Amino acid sequence: MPLESATAAILAHIAEEGAPELYEMAIAESRSMYREMQPDLPEIVVHSVEDLMIDGPDSAIPVRIYRPSAAPAPVHVHFHGGGWVIGDLDTHDRDCREICIGADCIVVAVDYRLAPEHIFPAAPEDCYAAFCWATTNLEGLDALPGPVSVGGDSAGGNLAAAVALMARDRNGPAIAMQLLIYPVTDATMESASYRDNADGYLLSRTMMSWFWDHYCPDLALRADPLASPITAEDLSGLPPALVMTAEFDPLRDEGEAYAERLIAAGVAVEVRRFDGLVHGFFSQAGMIEAAREGVDLAVKALRKAHNIVS
């Protein structure tokens, strides 16, 4: 179908401005620009927000904890997008608030180490450590007992899939579900969606190449399942998943291919393509009506995974 109308207007405005691409800037400048690019929307009010530092594999990891109410609630651990190079707790603050309120979950957002200062596998190791911390600190979080869920968008979806693999292969902890929002799963960048959506839809093939070059400069390591989850020989025994993709996104096909492989391995999977939308739509639910359906689908799946009765 054609581009959704509000999305088309946003893309046209970006093209008219003619601003430099993030990959044309120094790393610090691209990170700053990415923060400035986030929609200026009314704040979503949650019960409380707390910033903490937790132990990581090599250094302390900043986390931000969102609570939906004073009552105990299940825990969801969330990893932000940004190609493992840009993005932070602030750029994805609204996403976490949406999940916190909509799913009635305590959300633990993880500020994992970024590339190129910290290349693969620093990010997945940080994310796994944060996931383990959340699981073993349910009482301290005033959370309900039970497995936590993991999720993220784009590079964050990649990291959520990696954490699910790590938890299975490292004997736990258990995961309630994995929320994979237009995830990166394949470093080869050879799919039809990479060709069809190479330019003009916010995330470009050139941008993804720039991300991969910073995150995992060793080409051989890109075949590691923790970098490219679709290369895992065996996907059985993984937690249930919701995989969301966008029609006009270079990552569309690899996300759907990963979902197909999970299904073939016997994993319970719901996969949904959002026609007319582009990469990043989840963060635009406050301004694009069609994107709101994606947030609603995500929080519904989380509520189901955590046995939350509406």
Tokens, residue 199 = 């330019």
Helices and strands (H and E) in the chain: how many: 9, 8
Residue 224 is classified by DSSP as S
What count of Cα atoms within 13 Å lies in the side-chain half-sphere of residue 135? Answer: 18
Q: From residue 228, how far is each of 9, 108, 127, 212, 241 by CA, in Å?
A: 33, 24, 16, 11, 17
Tokens, residue 146 = 């039970």
What dihedral do alpha carbons 232, 234, 240, 245 form, nearest 10°?
40
Which run of H or E residues covers position 125? helix 122-136
Q: Report which residue type is found at 210.
A: W
Strands in 75-79's sheet, in edge-to-edge order, are 48-54, 61-67, 106-110, 75-79, 148-153, 175-181, 241-248, 269-278
Strands 61-67 and 75-79: unpaired
Which residues belong to the active site?
154, 249, 279
Strands 175-181 and 241-248: parallel
Q: What SS3 class is residue 54?
A: strand
Residue 249 is classified by DSSP as -
* 59 CB-contact burial (10 Å; exposed 0-12 / middle 13-18 / buried 19+): exposed
